[in-house]
Amino acid sequence: MGYRFTDLTAACQDDWHAYIEHDFVRTLGAGTLAENAFRHYLKQDYLFLIHFARAYALAAYKSPTLADLRQAHEGLKAIVDVELGLHVSYCREWGISEAQLAELPEARATMAYTRYVLDTGNRGDLLDLHVALAPCLIGYGEIANWLNGLPNTVRGEANPYDAWIAMYEGEEFQGAMRAELEWLDARLADVTPARFQELSEVFRNATRLEIDFWQMGLDGSD
């Protein structure tokens, strides 16, 4: 029997839970997160999306099959043509102009995380890159579902961050998350124990960098 994505989360269970259940996420769900912390996160997440698009471009280069190439192309298009535009509009609702976004300096946590993903993809193969991206691609969907299971999560107009939860609980993102899980499970099923250990280290590092990204937002630090 081969490996699955759940084996990656089990291999770094404490870090995975620290990421999914971070105080930034908890307070966002409760509607008590400081607005300045959320604005700082939104700004840095814009920069992250740009590097995320670059990662998909790298995935296209690394794709061994036409199916993988099409998947990378669709991911790149979705970010450049849709997600970045939506993010700019959402930032505008929070008083952050597109001109401000264009002039943002990168926080150290943003730099560390995005460059790790790109470096991992450059050094490794397509599976390495997908595993490095998985904490974001799969984690955000799991976070939305986890928040909806908490008794103190506030939904609707009473929570200024409700739209954020709605985005990641929505069928579009949840469908993309399920597709990524299927892709990872199919590839992980064929790896050796030694290769799985390498991928577990990539996943652990990326998860820890996601924790730092939340903390950067919570602290409002660069």
Helix (H) or strand (E) holding 47: helix 35-62
Instruction: For residue 74, indicate whether it is catalytic.
Output: no
Q: Where are the beta strands (DSSP E) in 1-150?
A: none
Catalytic residue among 103, 136, 169, 201: 136
Enumerate residues 6+ apart whose C-beta is below 8 A from 110.
44, 47, 48, 213, 216
Q: Distance between CA atoms of 181 and 41, rounded to whole angstroms?
A: 26
Q: Choose, from 12, 91, 180, 210, the residue flagged as catalytic.
A: 210
Total length of the chain: 222
How far apart, in whole angstroms, are the C-alpha atoms of residue 71 and residue 57?
11
Lookup: tokens for 14: 């404490």
91 labelled catalytic: no
Q: What are phi and psi of 130, to 5 degrees?
A: -65, -40
Q: What contacts 51, CB < 8 A, 6 or more positions away?
A: 114, 115, 117, 118
As a whole number of angstroms, the distance between CA 1 and CA 123 comes to 28
Question: Closest Cα partner for 50 from 117, 131, 96?
Answer: 117
- Residues noted as catalytic: 136, 210
